[in-house]
């Protein structure tokens, strides 16, 4: 057993003093590996999920406000904490890692306000170190691409609807089906820029038919032009615009 896995187990055992732990579970890399390590530690684990559509009822979220992540996480963690307590689990954890602490993430404030514990970050583990634990445990999630909130595909202060989010999700699925396991479809008014992993930028087949199919998905939300972003896939694209992280 690696030192990092041993340390994470020790952290989980420490925070779950009664042997019971609820986890805010999204199915992503962090929460999936956290859940499996908690089970390995012999804890009674309750994964809890949240319907993100509920957050679209919040004005600041719909308007893609700079603080939208805080408002979304506040609603999410209040709801999950209440459910956990009602089911006899007094500790709620999430999958925040050490990398997240150094980025612009207003949602971290909501975790503190709702007494949500972040065992991965507490252990000081980065995303890469957590993936290494996933490989050690032979978990498929270890190689799963990160999937930031779809609101990060739009500039700040851009009103966003469920239909717009669904269109972007469908477009990303189509881009992936044409030859990649990871991408971002960013929307800048009538222009959509597709970010692809840098190692496939020169070989990805962005055919006229694919572009046409993507336009059929994105034109209802105002997109009239689609291009491949020559800078490739990266985090913080909207920060480059002086706006947001994603």
Structure confidence by residue, pLDDT tens digits, 25-55: 999 999 999 999 999 999 999 999 999 999 9
Say which CATH superfamily domain 3-143 falls into: HUPs (3.40.50.620)
Cβ proximity of 69 and 163 under 8 Å: no
The domain made up of 150-240 has a fold known as Alpha-Beta Plaits (3.30.70)
Q: What is the pTM assigned to this prediction? A: 0.90
Q: Where are the domains of the chain?
A: 3-143, 150-240
Structure confidence by residue, pLDDT tens digits, 183-213: 999 999 999 999 999 999 999 999 999 999 9
Q: So what's the pLDDT on residue 147?
A: 86
Question: DSSP letters along 192-213, please?
Answer: EEEE--GGGTTT----HHHHHH
């Amino acid at each position: 057993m690696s030192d990092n896995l041993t340390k994470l187990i020790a952290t989980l055992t420490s925070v779950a003093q009664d042997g019971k732990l609820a986890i805010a579970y999204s199915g992503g890399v962090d929460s999936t590996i956290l859940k499996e390590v908690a089970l390995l530690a012999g804890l009674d684990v309750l994964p809890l999920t949240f319907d993100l559509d509920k957050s679209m009822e919040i004005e600041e979220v719909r308007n893609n406000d700079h603080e939208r992540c805080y408002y979304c996480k506040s609603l999410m963690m209040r709801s999950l904490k209440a459910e956990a307590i009602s089911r006899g689990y007094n500790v709620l954890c999430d999958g925040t890692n050490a990398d997240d602490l150094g980025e612009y993430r207003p949602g971290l404030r909501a975790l503190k306000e709702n007494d949500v514990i972040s065992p991965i970050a507490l252990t000081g583990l980065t995303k890469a170190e957590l993936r290494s634990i996933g490989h050690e445990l032979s978990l498929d999630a270890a190689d799963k691409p990160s999937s930031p909130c779809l609101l990060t595909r739009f500039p700040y202060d851009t009103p966003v609807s469920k239909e717009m989010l669904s269109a972007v999700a469908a477009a990303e699925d189509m881009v992936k089906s044409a030859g990649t396991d990871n991408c971002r479809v960013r929307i800048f008014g009538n222009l959509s820029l597709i970010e692809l992993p840098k190692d496939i930028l020169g070989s990805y087949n962005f055919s006229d038919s694919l572009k046409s199919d993507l336009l059929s998905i994105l034109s209802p939300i105002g997109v009239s032009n689609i291009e491949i972003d020559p800078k490739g896939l990266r985090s913080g694209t909207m920060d480059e615009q002086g706006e947001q992280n994603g």
